[in-house]
Structure 1
Amino acid sequence: MADSTATTESRCHVRSISMPSRSHPTATNIEEELNRLRALESLSSTAQSGSPLKEESISVALFGLVELYKCVESFLQMPQTQQIMVQHQLEALVDELIEGPVTLLDIGGTTKDILLQMKENVLDLHSALRRRKFEEMLGNKVGTYISFKKRVKKDVSSCLKMLKRLEEKCVVCPLLDLDHDSAMVVRVLREVNSVAISVFRAILSFLSTPMSKPKVGRWHLVSKLMHRGVVACDRHEESMNEVESVDVVLFALTRCNPSKDAEVESSQMVEKRLKDLEDSVESLEEGLNFLFRRLIQTRVSLLNILTN
Structure 2
Amino acid sequence: MADSTAMPESRYHVRSISLPTRSHPTATCIEEELSKLRALESLSTAQSGSQLKAESICVSLLGLAELHKCIENFLQMPQTQQALLHHQHKRWVEEMIDGSVTLLDIGGAARDILIQMKEIIQDIQSALRRRKLEVLLNKVTAYISFKKRVKKDVSSCLKTLKRLEEKYVACPLLDYDHDSAMVVRVLREVSSVAISIFWALLSFLSIPVSKPKVGRWNLVSKLMQRGLVACDNEVDVSMNEVESVDVALFALSPCNASKDAAVESSQTAQKRLKDLEVSLESVEEGLDFLFRRLIQTRVSLLNILTH
What is the TM-score of this pair, normalised by structure 2? 0.89
Match runs of 1:9-48 below 5 Å: 9-38=9-38, 39-47=40-48
Tell me which of 209, 212, 227 is aligned to 1:211: 209
Q: TM-score, normalised by structure 1?
A: 0.89
Tell me the amino acid that sits aligned with residue 293 of structure 1.
R
Determine the C-alpha separation between the residues in 2 that align with 1:246 and 1:236: 9
1:297 aligned onto 2:288: no
Distance 1:6 1:263, change over 3 A: same
Cα deviation, 1:196-248, whole Å, max 9, x if unaligned, reads: 11111111010001113499xxxxxxxxxxx9998894794212100000000
- AA partner of residue 43 (structure 1): S
What's the C-alpha RMSD, in Å, of the aligned pairs? 2.4
Residue equivalent to 1:223: none
Contact between 1:75 and 1:81, CA under 8 Å: does it hold in 2? yes
Cα distance 1:279–1:105, how it changes in 2: closer, same or farther (>3 A)? same
- Aligned residue among 184, 187, 197 for 2:185: 187
Structure 2 distance, partners of 1:171, 1:238, is: 38
Q: Cα–Cα, structure 1 residues 184 and 88, in superposed 2: closer, same or farther, change >3 Å?
A: farther
Contact kept? 1:206, 1:243, Cα under 8 Å:
yes
Contact 1:8 1:198 in 2 (8 A): no
Name the CA distance, whole Å, in 2 between partners of 1:27 and 1:293. 22
Displacement of 1:31 after TM fit? Answer: 1.9
The answer as to 2:160 corresponding to 1:159 is no
Mapped to 2, the partners of 1:149 and 1:297 lie a distance apart of 32
Instruction: Show the 5 A alignment for 1:176-255.
Output: 176-213=174-211, 233=232, 236-253=235-252
State the Cα deviation string for residues 89-125 of structure 1 (Å, max 9, x = none).
4202123211222111000000000000001001100
Change (3 A) 1:188 1:31: same
Name the counterpart of 2:73.
74
CA contact (8 A) 1:4 1:201 kept: no
SS of the aligned residue for 2:284 comes to helix
Secondary structure in 1 aligned to 2:207?
coil
Offset, 1:59: 1.0
Q: Following TM superposition, by how much is the alpha carbon of 1:297 offset from its aligned partner in structure 2, in angstroms?
A: 0.4
The whole-number CA distance in structure 2 between the counterparts of 1:148 and 1:5 is: 17
Please, which runs of 5 or more residues in structure 1 have no aligned partner?
Answer: 216-226
Name the SS for the 1:212 alignment partner: coil
Distance 1:13 1:6, change over 3 A: farther
Preserved contact between residue 94 and residue 306 of structure 1 (Cα < 8 Å): yes
Amino acid at match of 1:298: T
* CA–CA separation in structure 1 for the residues paired with 2:248 and 2:106: 30
What is the number of residues matched between the two proteins?
294
